[in-house]
Chains A and B, each alone.
Chain A
Amino acid sequence: MKPDDSAREPRRETNPEALLESLFSEARVRERPPAEAEAAIRANVHQAWRQSVEQHRRRRLIAFGAAASVLLAIGYLAISQPPGDGPDSSARVERVIGPAFAQTPDGSSDAGRRAIGAGLELAPGSSVKTAGGALLAVRWASGTRLRLDERTEVILATAHSIRLVTGAVYVESGGTAGAEPLVIDTAHGRVEPVGTRYMTRVTAAATIVSVRSGAVRFGGHADTDPTLARSGQRLTATDATAPRVEPTATWGPDWSWTERLSPAFDADGRSLAELFDWVAAETGRSVRYASPQVRRAAADSLLHGAIDLEPLRALEVAAATSGLQVSVDEGELRVDVSSR
C-alpha cells in the first residue's frame, strides 16, 4: 500500500468503548420535560388509569351477580361525593388546556392541591385555579357551563354560586327547565344572571361584567338597588363608585379566549344553518343570509359526524364543501353562494 493511500484511508475504530466515547463526545444530556407540565399530565393520566381499572373491576363484578354490582355502585358513589350532597351539586371538568389545579374543600391532597384533568368531578367548596396560558371548562348537571380564562381563581361554593377571586369567567346558563342560575360573588358585589351568556372579569380595582345575551343583575355590597346590564352592555363596578353601564361589543378579542373552550358541535344529522347558529352564539355574532334561497340551501345541507374545532375554524371547514361561503364582518356572519 502506498503511503499516501494509507493516509487517505479512514482509521476504523473497533474498540467499542473508544467508539462510544468518540460518538458521545458531541452528545448532550437528554432534555427533561417542564416540571409543571409533568405534574399536570401525571395527574390526568393517573386518573384515566384509575377509571380504567375501576371500570374493569365493575364489569367483572357484574358478571358475578347483579346484587353485588349494585352494592359496589352505591359504595363508589359514596366515595366520590361528600355525604349530604346530591350527585347534581358537583361540577364536572369538560375540558382543560394547560395546567389547572384544584383544592378540595377539606384541603386534603398532596401538597395541598391537585392537577385537574377532563372528567374530574369538583365537589362544592373546591377552589380552582388556572395557570398562565391555561383555560378550563366545567359543567353542572343543570347544563350551566363555566369557562375560566388564564390566571383565574374561583371557589365553587355550591352548584348555584361561585366566588370569583381573580381573573375572568364566561357563563352559559343551563338549559334544564327550572334550573337555578349561577350566581357569582366578587370582591365588589354579586352578579346574578337572568338566562344569559356573559363574562365576568375581576381585577384588584374592579369587577367588569360583559353581557353577550340575556341580562345580569349586579348588586354591590353597599347597594340596595341592583343594577341591570343587558345584551350588548358592560357593567363596571368598583369600591369607590356606583356601577357604570355602557355599550360593548359581544364579539372581538376580549371574548376570543372563550372560543378555545367551545364544546364540540355534534353535527351528525344537523344542518349547516344550525352550525351557523351555533357559531354565531359561540362568537357573539348574528347570521345574515344573502337571500332566502341561500338560507334554504344552508337549512337543506346536512352534516355528518362531530366537529371539535374552534367555532370560526369549524365554519371554514364545513362551508368549504357546501357551495356556500361565509365571511365574518365584525358582528355578522355573512352567508352567500360561493364565488369559486
Chain B
Amino acid sequence: MPIHLDDRQLAKRLRRGDRRAFDRFFQDYFARLYRFAHARLPDDRDATAEVVQTSLTKAMRHIRKYRGEAALFTWLCSICRNEIADWHRRHARYRDHVVLSEDHPEVRAAVESLHAPDEAGPQQTQQRSEAARLIQVALDRLPPRYGDALEWKYIEGRSVKEIAGRLAISADAAQSLLARARRAFQDIYAELVGPAFGTGEKTKQAHS
C-alpha cells in the first residue's frame, strides 16, 4: 500500500512551503482528525475545535519530524491523543471518559464475547450502532479517496460513473480504485472488530 510514500511526499512539499500541498493536507486530514477528536470529546464542540487546532498547529511546526514510518493520519492521531490527554488534565473536571473499542482491545474482546439475543433489543441496537460507528472510523483511516469512494458508492448509492466524475478519472479507473478501496477497508475494519469480520457472521448477528 503506497500510503506512506504519498504521505512523505506531501510532507516534503509542506516543508517547502507549497501552498497547494497545504490545501491538500487540510482538505484530506482536517475533517477526519476532527471526527477522531470529537469521538473522544463527544459533548464539547469547543474542546474538539481547540484540540484539533492545537494538534494541527503542532503538526505544522514539527512536520520536519515526520519520517513516513507510519501513515500521516496515524501520526496526526498520536499528536491529537496527547492533546486530548492534556486537555483533560488542564480542565481536570469530571468527564465521562469515552472508551472506544478501537483504543482498547480488551473492550473489544468484551464486546465480542457478548452473545446477541435472538430478538432485537437494546443490545442488538447497541451492536448495530457500534458497527455503524466503526465503519466510519475505518473509512477515516483509509486514504481520503478510498474512504470517499466507498462512502459515495455504498452509503450514498452513487454510480461508478458519478464517482469517476467526482474523482476526475475514467470509469475503469474508478472501478479499479473501488476494488482496492474495498480490500483496504476490509483489512482495517477487521482490525477494528476482530477476526469475526469477513465471514459475515458478525454482520448477520448485528442485523438479525
Q: Which one of B15, B30, B57 lies within 8 Å of A53 (CB-CB)?
A: B15
Q: How far is the CA of A26 from the CA of B124 in the complex (A)?
A: 12
Taking the complex as formed, is A33 at the interface, i.e. its CB lies under 8 A from any CB of chain B?
yes
Judging by beta carbons under 8 Å apart, are B30 and A38 in contact? Answer: yes
- A244 CB, min distance to chain B CBs, angstroms: 37
Determine if B52 is an interface residue (Cβ-Cβ < 8 Å): yes
Q: Which residues of A contact B46 (CB under 8 A)?
A: 97-98, 133
Q: How far is the CB of A160 from chain B (nearest CB, A)?
A: 31
On chain B, which size bracket covers the interface?
35 or more
B41 within 8 A of A: no
Enumerate chain A residues within 8 angstroms of B119, measured Cβ to Cβ.
none
The reply on A30 being an interface residue by CB < 8 A is yes
Given A45-B60, A313-B92, decide whether A37 and B199 contact each other with a Cβ distance below 8 A.
no
CB of A45 within 8 A of CB of B57, answer yes
Q: Determine if B67 is an interface residue (Cβ-Cβ < 8 Å).
A: no
B207 CB within 8 Å of chain A: yes
B75 at the interface (CB under 8 A from A): no
Say which one of B95-103, B134-142, B165-173 lies at the interface with A: B134-142
CB contacts (< 8 Å) of B60 on chain A: these are: 45, 48-49, 52
A33 vs B35: C-alpha distance in the bound complex, in angstroms? Answer: 8
Q: Indicate the member of A22, A24, A308 with the most B CB atoms within 10 Å.
A: A24
A residues less than 8 Å from B79 (CB atoms): none
C-alpha spacing A25/B131, complex, angstroms: 11
Residues 304-330 of A, flagged 1 when their CB comes within 8 A of B and 0 if not, give 000011000100010000000000000
The interface centre, meaning the residue of B53, B154, B156, B198 with most chain A CB atoms within 10 A of its CB, is B53
In the assembled complex, how far is the CB of residue B57 from the closest CB belonging to chain A, in whole angstroms? 4
Out of B38, B52, B128, name the residue touching A26 (CB < 8 Å): B128
Whole-angstrom distance between the Cβ of B50 and the nearest chain A Cβ? 7
- A46 touching B200, Cβ below 8 Å: no
Query: Which residues of chain A (100-140) have a CB below 8 Å from chain B?
Result: 117, 133
Docked complex Cα distance between A125 and B186 (Å)? 56
A254 within 8 A of B: no
Q: Please, how many angstroms separate the alpha-carbon atoms of A25 and B206 in the complex?
A: 11
Could you say which residues of chain A place their CB within 8 Å of the CB of B151?
29-30
Chain B residue at minimal CB-CB distance from A34: B45
Q: Is A2 an interface residue (CB 8 A)?
A: no
A22 partner residues in chain B, CB cutoff 8 A: 200, 203, 207
Query: Contact: B53 with A44, CB < 8 Å?
Result: yes
A-facing residues in B162-208 (Cβ within 8 Å): 182, 185-186, 189, 198-201, 203-207
User: Are A41 and B132 in contact, CB atoms less than 8 angstroms apart?
Assistant: no
Interface set, chain A 1-27, CB cutoff 8 A to B: 10-14, 16-17, 19-27
Closest to A45 in B: B56
How many angstroms from the CA of A10 to the CA of B196 in the assembled complex? 12
Q: Is the CB of B182 within 8 A of A16?
A: yes
Complex CA gap A11/B139 in Å reads 26
Q: Verify B52–A41 contact, CB threshold 8 A.
A: yes
- Grouping DSSP codes into helix (H, G, I), strand (E, B) and loop, the A interface class, with mixed when no group exceeds half, is helix
CA distance A34 to B35 in the complex (A): 11
CB of B66 closer than 8 Å to a CB of A: no
Task: Determine which of B38, B49, B63, B189 lies in contact with A41 in the assembled complex, contact meaning CB atoms within 8 Å.
Answer: B49
Contact B22 A49 (CB under 8 A): yes
What is the distance, in angstroms, from A256's C-beta to the closest C-beta of chain B? 16
Is B155 close to A, CB under 8 A? Answer: yes
Alpha-carbon gap, A89 to B31, bound state (A):
37
Contact of A41 with B200 in the complex, beta carbons under 8 Å: no
Which of A11, A13, A14, A117 has the largest number of chain B CB atoms within 10 A?
A13
In contact, A53 and B17 (Cβ under 8 angstroms) = yes
**Cβ-neighbour of A20 out of B30, B154, B207 (below 8 A):** B154
| A157 at interface, CB cutoff 8 A | no
* Distance, CA A339 to CA B57, complexed state (A): 44
B15 in complex: contacting residue of A44, A46, A56, CB < 8 Å: A56
Q: Determine the chain A residues whose CB is within 8 A of the CB of B199 once the complex forms.
A: 10, 12-13
Q: In the complex, are the beta carbons of B35 and A26 less than 8 A apart?
A: no
Q: Which residues of A lie under 8 Å from residue B17 when comparing CB positions?
A: 50, 53, 57
Residue of A nearest to B154 (CB): A24
Contact assessment for B200 and A13 in the assembled complex, using a CB-CB cutoff below 8 Å = yes
A43 CB to closest chain B CB, in angstroms? 10
Contacts of A16 in B (CB 8 A): 182, 186
In the complex, which residue of chain A has the Cβ closest to the Cβ of B58?
Answer: A48
Interchain Cβ contacts under 8 Å between A and B, 19 examples: A12-B200, A26-B132, A26-B135, A26-B207, A27-B132, A27-B154, A28-B132, A29-B156, A30-B136, A31-B35, A33-B49, A37-B34, A37-B45, A38-B30, A45-B57, A45-B60, A49-B14, A52-B61, A52-B63
Nearest 9 A-B pairs (CB), nearest first? A13-B200, A24-B154, A49-B60, A53-B17, A48-B57, A33-B34, A27-B135, A45-B56, A37-B49
